[in-house]
Amino acid sequence: MDFLAIFTAQYLVFIIIILGIAFFLHRPIHEKKEILIFSLITLPIIFIISRICATLYFNPRPFVVDQFISLIPHKPNNGFPSDHTLVSSAVAVIIWHFNKKIGWFLFVLALLVGLARVYVGVHHYVDIFASLIISFVVVVVVEKFIWPKIKIQKIFSSNKKTSENI
């Protein structure tokens, strides 16, 4: 059980990233451009909000508070929010914007990353849920308020016309 938890806590994030890249690579070119632009908008916002939250709320890691040795070595720094869960859930919700079924699957994997990080003793539940919520809320806000204002078709068609004129 510990081996599976350690693997999930440390390495499942990379599998989620690889699955996200595979999804991206198997999309038509116009959708790849949309995914790329959407990611370039959402990822920095997710990162900035997570850093703001980390400065506003300090949550010592469980192994520091309860004085035990965690199953994976970690610095005794702020655990809020969980970076592994943040990256995992960011990939998941970006994919979710384009494909709900695959996105939900990846979101469940991101949740497993977070729960495993609690199990191995490097995060509290609040660190995990904050990461999931930050990613999800940012994507929903971008989807509702920013994304509709970006004229993706216009951008791509103007690039096409410009390259045809050359």
- Hey, is 71 helix, strand or coil? coil
Task: Return the closest-CA partner of residue 126 out of 73, 60, 68.
Answer: 60
Looking at the predicted structure, is the pLDDT value of residue 80 above 70? yes
| Cα angle for residues 91, 93, 96 (degrees, 5° grid) | 110
Quick check: 46 and 86 in contact, CB under 8 A?
yes
pLDDT confidence of residue 149? 85
Q: How far apart are CA 61 and CA 153, in angstroms?
A: 46
Sign of the Cα torsion 146, 152, 154, 159 reads positive
pLDDT confidence of residue 35? 96
Looking at the predicted structure, is the pLDDT value of residue 104 above 50? yes
Task: Return the closest-CA partner of residue 9 out of 61, 77, 85, 69.
Answer: 85
Looking at the predicted structure, is the pLDDT value of residue 153 above 70? no
Q: Which two tokens stand for residue 86?
A: 């943040």
- What are 5-44's pLDDT values in tens digits? 999 999 999 999 999 999 999 999 999 999 999 999 999 9
pLDDT confidence of residue 156? 58
For the chain, state the CA radius of gyration. Answer: 18
- Chain-wide mean pLDDT for the chain? 92
For a pLDDT cut of 70, what percent of the chain falls above it? 90
pLDDT confidence of residue 163? 47
Residue with tokens 């699957």: 105
Torsion region of 5: left, alpha or beta (phi above 0 gives left; psi -120 to 50 gives alpha): alpha
Quick check: 131 and 89 in contact, CB under 8 A?
yes
pLDDT band at 159 (very low <50, low <70, confident <90, very high): low
Q: How far apart are CA 148 and CA 128, in angstroms?
A: 30
pTM of the complete model beyond 0.75: yes
